[in-house]
Structure formats: C-alpha cells, structure tokens
Structure 1
Amino acid sequence: MSLSHYYIYIYVGKFSRGIGYFYPTKYIPSAELPDEEYQTILMTGRILYYYTTRVMTGRTEELMKIAPSSFIEINIKNGDRSKVTSRRGEIETTARVGYKVSKGESWMPFHFPDRNANWLTNAALYG
C-alpha cells in the first residue's frame, strides 16, 4: 500500500473546545530583512513525511524514497546544486523550482541533519 492511502483526522463531529477560536494578531516585521548582500527571505518548515530531525522517520525506507535529502525551493533551474548562504553560515543543497514561494523568497525544510536549514536562520524571538 502506498503512503497516499493513509488519512489523518484531527476533528470528527465537533471541535474539542467548541467552535474554533480566531483572533487577530499584531504584525511584527522580521528581525532581519533582505538587504543588498542578502536579498532573499528564507522560510523554513516541515514536510509531510518527517517529524523534526527524522530520528525515527528517517529510518523508514518508504519515506526515504519519497524525500531522501535536503532541498530548497527557489526560482532557479530544478535539480541544480545550490550553495545557500546567510549571515550565520552556508550549506549546499538541491534546488527545486518552488511554486509556493513568491519572488524574493525561498523555503527549506529543517528535517535533514546533514544540511539543517536552522543553521542559517536567526534565533531572534519576540516576547
């Protein structure tokens, strides 16, 4: 059976707290914005197949066939090796043409310990 046959349900029937609660949030700009030297925003996130650093899921042969290694989504030629550099370091990864990112943005998962996107990001937190 392929992975596409599995479904996850978060809520069935009703929400656990009643009706969903939505509220506006105040916009806070990023601690670091693009400039002349670093012109692209890097966003990081999860992909469907892995949880955090793949300690357990990285051992699953079927998942490794679907998503075997690090990549960055950016608007360049698909499959090229790319050096991604920030103020904190650099890593080399595979480029994928990204349709989820806008011009001046890129996106990279943080699951892969050999090319961890978090090595490139700012640890600034807002209180």
Structure 2
Amino acid sequence: MAEKTLMSTIAYCEKSATIYVYAGDGSFEERSDYDGVVSVFWESDDCALLYGANGIFGRKNLLKIFAELYRRGARRLRMKRAKRHRMPFGTIIEEGTVENTWEIDLPKALNIQTKQSTTPA
C-alpha cells in the first residue's frame, strides 16, 4: 500500500514588534540605553495594540511612535491603562474594574487629512 503524502502550506505573519525610544543619537544597532520601550501587537491590518510600555515617552515621542505605526498601515491604536492613567489623544472604548481600554484615531491624532469618498452610494 502506497503511503499518502500530505501537502502542507505554511504562512509567516509578522504580528508583533518592539519600539524603542532613544535619547539623542542612540540606536538599536549600537545597543544604546533606551529611555522607553513598548511592544506592538497587530490586531488587524489597520489596528495595533500597544502593551508592556515602560519608561519615558512624552507627547513628542508618542507622536513619533504614532507616525511610524501610521506609516506601517495602522489607523487605530489601542492600549490598556490602569484607571489612574490616561492615554494622550485617546478615547476610552471599554471600562474595566482596574483598567480601561483606550483607542487612538491616528489620522486625527496626527492631524492627517483623509480624503472622503465623494461618490454617491
């Protein structure tokens, strides 16, 4: 009896990343000390979840992070924050007992004008 050969297909999908914030000319390549780090998990092609943030960010660096993720296709960001913390540029979309889920509309946060379709439905 001949053995059946099972055909398989694999797919590699990059769903996560890490963003580092460096002071001055610091870089990952040089393994410089970083001021902040945050992990990114892509929930869909246009929505990323930020988690595990640690360090110093500030609004200027947050906007740089937002711009980089926008460049990579994100239009919305989500982040869970302890109730006592806020998320600049964000809106609470889900309230929990100890933390809230925030969502950031990237075009709005970055003040990017998006073209609205003018074609009638």
TM-score, length basis structure 2: 0.25
TM-score, length basis structure 1: 0.25
Tell which has more relative contact order, 1 or 2 (C-alpha 8 A, sep 6+): 1
Decide which structure has greater strand share.
Answer: 2
Greater radius of gyration (CA): 2
